[in-house]
Amino acid sequence: MAPAARVALALWPGGCALAWRLGGRPQLLLPTQNRAGFAGAAGGPGPVAATRKGSPRLLGAAALALGGALGLYHTARWHLRAQDLHAEHSATQLSLSSHLQLTLYQYKTCPFCSKVRAFLDFHALPYQVVEVNPVRRAEIKFSSYRKVPILVAQVGENSQQLNDSSVIISALKTYLVSGQPLEEIIAYYPAMKAVNDQGKEVTEFGNKYWLMLDEKEAQQVYGGKEARTEEMKWRQWADDWLVHLISPNVYRTPTEALASFDYIVREGKFGAVEGAVAKYMGAAAMYLISKRLKSRHHLQDNVREDLYEAANKWVAAVGKDRPFMGGQRPNLADLAVYGVLRVMEGLDAFDDLMQHTHIQPWYLRVERAITEASPAH
């Protein structure tokens, strides 16, 4: 493969990280759904009822009022307690995050790197960015793992390297919720050698969509087993399907391919000669390669239709009764889908996506949530 094409595959999926189909999962206790309802006043007739048998309507109204008052009281107490728990949880996360010093090694236009940035920004985790030259990759010469994103986390005297976007997100979220030592958490996501569909040896990571939480912590995060399962399912969908729609769409025509590489060169870390080679030779190479990618993933002749279908499928899964898949706040699936799509901003594919699907309101809500939460860096 030509050097320019290798650069392109590094900057767009799936060169920057590996999309892995989830295999074995740890035998963890899933949260039970013990949701106690609030009962109103009940019971047999008391002394008042015994002395006022001739006033059933008055008694009924009194009982209804008493029951309603008790219901409002318990509901208000539950709501205040939920607010207290959320405040305590946020304070705990803030305390833990203050001990983290994070450095993200990335290609800015890589969707897997964009996923990690969306997570870090939404959780208000300050981090430094090191843009990696996609040709020399000298910035990550310290690592035997040669893909991005790579996150180096300094906790006190200890430094930990986290590889793979989904592992980075799961490990950090586990750390923020549970407070377990980060080096112990990383061990839950073992690296394994495997052979992909093209016969090439690759590194895969076990359990990467799981948060390693006990039952109480999982209940705190998810509220129920269904929410946890849903989040994992759509995080994997973003890696296994959505991300593979990016390249065929941004390189769909020669004009779009050239515009994409102009964006890549402008946002990436290239020398003058490298940038010129990447822009023109890379655009030509990736226009041709995108046709093979379309065949490999069995996409339609008009690849926009696959992108539109994916976006509308996601919107349907979120539904009309909640602003995010996570409810009132974006969850890890929301952040993953947003992060993947964000790399197309400024390109024709993104404009078409916003115009021809129902995804724009959800997308703007996530964007606003991240902007409101993220620190300046």
Q: pLDDT per residue over 261-305, tens digit each?
A: 888 888 888 777 778 787 878 888 888 888 888 998 999 999 999
Residue 309 lies in a domain: yes
Residue 366 maps to a domain: yes
Cβ burial, residue 30 (10 Å; 0-12/13-18/19+): middle
Catalytic residue among 105, 107, 188, 350: 107
pLDDT category, 5, cuts 50, 70, 90?
Answer: low
pLDDT digits (tens, 9 = 90+) for 145-159: 999 999 999 988 889
In a domain, 66, yes or no: no
Has residue 68 been placed in a domain?
no
Q: 16 in a domain, yes or no? A: no
Of the residues 16, 105, 110, 261, only one is catalytic, namely: 110
In a domain, 295, yes or no: yes
How many domains is the chain partitioned into structurally? Answer: 1
pLDDT confidence tier of residue 23, bands split at 50, 70 and 90: very low
In a domain, 80, yes or no: no
Residues forming a β-bridge with 102: 127, 153
Q: pTM for the complete prediction?
A: 0.76
Q: Check which CATH number belongs to the domain holding 162 and give it.
A: 1.20.1050.10
Backbone angles phi, psi at 201, to 5 degrees: -75, 130
For residue 308, what are the domain limits? 86-373
Set 38, 73, 105, 112: catalytic member: 112
Q: What is the mean pLDDT of residues 5-19?
A: 50
**Across 296-316, average pLDDT:** 96
Please tell me which residue, 186 or 291, carries the higher pLDDT value.
186
- Cα-based distances in Å from 224 to 29, 31, 183, 208: 12, 6, 28, 20
Q: What is the pLDDT of residue 42?
A: 33
Q: What confidence score (pLDDT) does residue 214 get?
A: 96
Assess whether 16 carries a catalytic annotation. no
Residue 174 in any domain: the answer is yes
User: Which residue out of 16, 105, 113, 175 is catalytically annotated?
Assistant: 113
What pLDDT sits at residue 264?
A: 85
Mean pLDDT computed over 97-121: 93
Mean pLDDT of the chain: 80
Cβ(350)–Cβ(101) below 8 Å: no
Q: What is the pLDDT of residue 305?
A: 98
